[in-house]
Amino acid sequence: MSIMNPKFWRAATTALLLTLLPLSALAQEIACKGEDLIARYATQQPDLFTTLRQQADDLPYSKGILWKIEHEGVAPSFVFGTMHISDPRLLDLPEAAKEAFARSTTVALEIAEIVDPQKMAAAASGLLRYTAYLDGTTLDDRMTSEQIELLKPVVAEKTGMTWAVARGMRPGILMGMVSLPMCELARKRAGKPFLDMYLGQRAQAEDKGLVGLETIESQLQVLDRLPEDMLIRTIVQAAQFGALLDDVFETMIVQYEKGEIGLIWSMFHMLGPNGLVPPGSAPDYGAFQRIVVDERNVTMAQESEKLIREGGAFIAVGALHLPGEKGVLNLLAQKGFRISRP
């Protein structure tokens, strides 16, 4: 089948997306070997770490993953920050989150389709204009030879695809692969659920209402709106991280369990392949923050408002959508809801 044929890209896109999703219980287990970077940076880069800590502390709603949202006349709702990874530690919910989930009548996820990964991949493969180049061009026309040579072995290792196929994918799709450590990819291939999927599957098992705040297409549209050259630089940088990716993910998990969401948020704004960098040294993150986080927060808050006014909702979104002036929680506070830590 010719690579110019849309059927080829539909099959290739499905195959690529499925590498992120459960395939076989026999997939090889790969241990995660990361370390929490926070203690390292506090010692090795104390001045930048002080800035990191201060930025985190200045964010509204920077600490905590579970928040109670109250509206007069209806049962309280809860907003719960998740991580879209499958580390088993994350599935052991805090007791307060377990109680909030049990009390809920409706569970909202970013996209409800994640409870059925095969259907999700199939649906995404039908949206080729967001996932593959269909005009005869490839990433070869957009990247330097040095970038391509750096990326080839990483893409092969993480996707199992040759560059001849992978180069036809849009960079936002490849970014989702290159930016994950091998242990996380192995868990997903082994069918291990990530936290959002686990919550959705529990909601179905307990006959709760299950709704999505977004759609698969709307999320792909977000990636499509990001500057292409920025995405390419981000992929290359992720490839340069190497073993540091394991450390980044371990740091995220450790700080998440401590409720230090603002610290994770600030770290991403100051992190480079060689450690922390001064604020403003990574300008690419500004567009990412605005398009992928801030603008989606508005949609999430609007959709959440409807559920909160009905009462009894358990709203689970990525934890980095919670803090900040433009975060989901502050947007809900501006709508007049009472927000507190349960």
> What digits encode the pLDDT tens for the residues 277-288?
887 665 567 778
CB-based contact 314:106 (threshold 8 Å): yes
Q: What is the mean pLDDT of residues 85-97?
A: 94
Is 200 a member of any domain?
yes
Separation between Cα atoms, residue 174 and residue 179, nearest integer Å: 9
Given this model, what pLDDT does residue 28 score? 52
Separation between Cα atoms, residue 264 and residue 35, nearest integer Å: 14
Given this model, what pLDDT does residue 22 score? 37
Joined together, the tokens standing for residue 262 give 């603002």
Q: Residue 286's domain spans which residues?
A: 34-137+193-228+243-340
Q: What is the mean pLDDT of residues 130-158?
A: 92
Given this model, what pLDDT does residue 16 score? 46
Torsion angle of C-alpha atoms 233, 113, 90, 67, degrees rounded to 10: 100
Is 188 a member of any domain?
no
Query: How far from chain centre, in Å, is Cα 89?
Result: 17
Is 205 a member of any domain?
yes
User: Which one is predicted more confidently, 118 or 342?
Assistant: 342
Q: What is the mean pLDDT of residues 153-170?
A: 89
Is 77 a member of any domain?
yes
Is 301 a member of any domain?
yes
- The pTM of this model reads 0.89
Separation between Cα atoms, residue 54 and residue 315, nearest integer Å: 28
Given this model, what pLDDT does residue 318 score? 97
User: Which one is predicted more confidently, 64 or 5?
Assistant: 64
Q: What is the pLDDT of residues 229-276, one digit of tens each?
A: 989 998 998 888 888 889 999 999 999 999 999 999 999 888 887 888
Is 203 a member of any domain?
yes
Is 110 a member of any domain?
yes
**What number of helices (H) and strands (E) belong to the chain?**
18, 8
Total domain count for the chain?
Answer: 1
Is 175 a member of any domain?
no
Nearest to 262 by CA among 109, 52, 83: 52
Least confident of 25-39, 58-72, 149-163, 316-330: 25-39
> At CA 31, angle to CA 29 and CA 34, rounded to 5?
150
Classify the phi-psi angles of 311: left when phi > 0, otherwise alpha if psi is within -120 to 50, otherwise beta. Answer: left
